[in-house]
Amino acid sequence: MAVRGCRRARGTAAPVITLFGIDAAVLLSGAVITETVFNLPGIGKLAVDSVTNADLPMLMGVTLVAATAMIVANIVVDACYALIDPRVRTS
């Protein structure tokens, strides 16, 4: 009986992991708004300040860090898919 419940849990874990991957993007974009409104130091405030001051090298750096964070989040989500569903191939 416990094995059957475990199989069902694996089938329902894929959408949850997908939402975690999407939430990574939402958290990063929400940081810009939250840090600007509440005047908190962080990568979102740094991005807004670099746009305001036309600091292109800093803006490119912030964009690079944000893109790297998103790529890492997507790789983690894909690795979790491979762990949960054996039909997913990691090649």
48: its two tokens: 């807004």
How confident is the prediction along the chain (91 residues), in pLDDT tens digits per residue? 444 545 555 567 888 888 888 888 888 888 888 998 999 999 999 999 999 999 999 999 999 999 998 899 889 988 888 888 777 776 6
Query: pTM to 2 decimals?
Result: 0.74
Neighbours of 35 (CB within 10 A): 19
What is the C-alpha to C-alpha distance for residues 34 and 43, in angstroms, rounded to an integer?
A: 11
